[in-house]
Amino acid sequence: MAKLYYRYGTMQSNKSNQIITTHHQYTTQGKKCLAYSTPVDSRSGYKKIKSRIGLELLCEYMHEGVYEEVETIHEVTRVHAVVVDEAQFLSKTEVHRLSDIADYLDIPVICFGLKTDFRNELFEGSKTLLELSDAIDELKTICQYCNKKATLNLRMMDGQPVNVGETIQIGDEEYVPVCRKCYKDRLDLI
């Protein structure tokens, strides 16, 4: 039986590189692997997943009709896996449709994304994936300020940490991975 996987991590935890590598592993074995991302994140360009080390993967945008789309492709050419980048931006309905792909089409679905926003609050997609996933893995990186494991994303504005503003603000340089203590210390939350 196929599973719904959620692999989450902070910024700079190698998520995009991992999804591209996973896709590559399937396709080099001659297995069809479909790649999706969300139109919310347009940093890499139109329908493209790009890692910080320069690897790229063409993808489709996630939508609520993804189950029917994958089912149609699967009827013509067997689909061995579905990978999804920026899964924190998925809607609850989209996550449920991905779980349907695993449950009813018996195709593994591997989602990659952030767990929480810069205020340490769950994104809708992350929350739903944490509730529904069969397997949850944390991709690790180290804190920007010490050598502890980074578990949070700190938003920076003009070189200073902030914890106000829109929940979704796409960027790379605006966020740094931090441990909980450094997060508290930088925002004076003690």
Domain with 112 in it: what CATH number?
A: 3.40.50.300
Q: Is residue 69 a part of any domain in this protein?
A: yes
Q: Is residue 45 a part of any domain in this protein?
A: yes
Evaluate if residue 17 carries a pLDDT over 80.
yes
Give the predicted TM-score (pTM) of the model.
Answer: 0.91
Evaluate if residue 122 carries a pLDDT over 80.
yes
Contacts of 112 (CB under 8 A, 6+ apart): 7, 8, 15, 16, 18, 19, 83, 84, 85, 86, 87, 139
What's the rounded Cα separation, in Å, for the pair 68 and 70? 6
Q: Is residue 48 a part of any domain in this protein?
A: yes
Q: Is residue 173 a part of any domain in this protein?
A: no
Q: Is residue 75 a part of any domain in this protein?
A: yes
List the domain range (segments joined by +) for residue 80.
4-140
When pLDDT is averaged across residues 43-52 and rounded to a whole number, the result is 77
Q: Among 57-61, 77-81, 154-158, name the one with the lowest average pLDDT.
A: 154-158
Q: Is residue 94 a part of any domain in this protein?
A: yes
**Residue 52 banded pLDDT, cuts 50, 70, 90:** confident
Q: What angle do CA 18, 21, 27 make, to 5 degrees?
A: 145
Q: Is residue 116 a part of any domain in this protein?
A: yes
Evaluate if residue 82 carries a pLDDT over 70.
yes
Evaluate if residue 172 carries a pLDDT over 60.
no
pLDDT at res. 91? 96
Evaluate if residue 178 carries a pLDDT over 90.
yes
Evaluate if residue 42 carries a pLDDT over 80.
no
What's the rounded Cα separation, in Å, for the pair 18 and 104? 26
Q: Is 86 a catalytic residue?
A: yes
Average pLDDT of the chain?
91
Evaluate if residue 149 carries a pLDDT over 70.
yes
Evaluate if residue 48 carries a pLDDT over 70.
yes
Position 21: which residue type? Answer: T
Using an 8 Å Cβ cutoff, are 123 and 150 in contact?
A: no
Beta strands in the chain (DSSP E): 4-9, 32-37, 48-50, 56-58, 60-61, 79-84, 109-113, 135-139, 152-157, 160-162, 175-178
What's the rounded Cα separation, in Å, for the pair 173 and 135? 30
When pLDDT is averaged across residues 113-127 and rounded to a whole number, the result is 94
Which is the catalytic residue, given 86, 94, 131, 173?
A: 86
Domain total for the chain? 1
